[in-house]
Structure 1
Amino acid sequence: MNTTEFTIRNAKPEEYQNIGALMVKVYSALDGFPKPHQHPKYYEMLANVGELTNKPGTEILVAVSSEGNIAGVVVYFGDMQYYGSGGTATQEKNAAGFRLLAVDDSQRGKGIGKLLTMFCLEKAKQQQLPQMIIHTTNAMKPAWRMYENIGFKRSEDLDFKQGELEVFGFRFLL
């Protein structure tokens, strides 16, 4: 796993459209995850992910290869009221969160998801926030395992259902 060839930085507005397309591609390919025709509002949000940065403390972070290609992306929320999920997560105080982690298929297995996750944890520490909140689904088992290996713990109080899709909450205490 060679993550040294990737740099994490804030996405540039001119990259938002391509980032949205990457997210749509990644999420629509997940086995067991709703497809665009089943959840059009969700995929519209993914396609227009740049709009999330209009909320205070919200950043799109990208992992960029040495050639300048975006290999992965995540949306970081320094203020949970803008997190935008169902359930109780948006009511969490003194917490950061991240959502919509996506790694390009051609870049999987290189530690990019972990690199983005660790970067988010470091951002929260720098902001002196005591915990990180995330969600995942059964369709995202590789990410689920990665989060648990990093030290995230299941937090059933954050679980919710999005239509028929079960969404599972996790916490990391910083």
Structure 2
Amino acid sequence: MESEIVSVGPTVRAAYPNEYTEIGQLMVEVYSSLEGFPKPSERPRYYNLLANVGDLTAKPEAELIVAVSSKGTILGAVVYFGDMQYYGSGGTATKEKHAAGFRLLAVSPLARGQGVGKLLVQACINKARETNRQQVVIHTTRAMQTAWQMYEKSGFKRSEDLDFEQEGLEVFGFRLAL
């Protein structure tokens, strides 16, 4: 009898503190390489936030979620906020009630096109459902067209009331009703 080869996908879990630095480096790499997105020299505070993304886990109901390969390689990460008051964006999103959100989604260039971003988004949606949130709120920019399309395919709808401008950069809001 021949044995079947089973391909095991990435594992999605809470990031370990000893992974925070590597995840921060990945986020800086991903965001700084986006065409049309501000560079580190233009937004040093934002890139400092990315580099130190693990610090966000000190906020109540915030979690750094990571996708790792079967060999432990970090493939992507996102920050989930179970309470929007700690979301930390501009605009009105932090006033949303009975809502969760996620920010700072990044997928390694080596893992693109493998469904890692979708797995991370689904993990955030599942967390929001498990805690009886009524919606998930997110933001993106024009430079993040791949993510934008993925959010729409996942059921997110544009919500212009969540839009804002940050230092000349248009930021677009989305909602997913649960």
Structure 1 length-normalised TM: 0.98
**Residues 24-69 of structure 1 deviation map (CA, whole Å, 9 limit, x = unaligned):** 0000000000000000000000001111000000000000100111
Matched with 1:153 is 157
Q: Provide the identity percentage.
A: 64
* 1:171 partner letter: R
5+ residue gaps, structure 2: 1-6
State the secondary structure of the residue aligned to 1:87. Answer: coil
**What are the residue-to-residue correspondences of 1:72-151 with 2, within 5 Å?**
72-151=76-155
Shift of 1:150: 1.0
The count of corresponding residues between Structure 1 and Structure 2 is 173
What is the aligned counterpart of 1:53 among 44, 51, 57?
A: 57
**Residues 48-94 of structure 1 deviation map (CA, whole Å, 9 limit, x = unaligned):** 11110000000000001001111000000000000000000001110
Instruction: Provide runs of 4+ in structure 1 moved above 2 Å.
Output: none
5+ residue gaps, structure 1: none
**Residues 95-115 of structure 1 deviation map (CA, whole Å, 9 limit, x = unaligned):** 000000000001000000001
Shift of 1:4: 4.3
State the secondary structure of the residue aligned to 1:143. Answer: helix
Shift of 1:5: 1.6
**What are the residue-to-residue correspondences of 1:16-35 with 2, within 5 Å?**
16-35=20-39
Residues 8 and 70 in structure 2, CA contact (< 8 A), matched pair in contact too: no
2:165 & 2:148 partners in 1: Cα distance? 17
Output the aligned Cα RMSD. Answer: 1.2
Shift of 1:164: 1.1
Choose 1 or 2 for highest CA Rg.
Answer: 2
2:105 & 2:99 partners in 1: Cα distance? 18
1:18 & 1:57 partners in 2: Cα distance? 22
State the secondary structure of the residue aligned to 2:36. Answer: coil
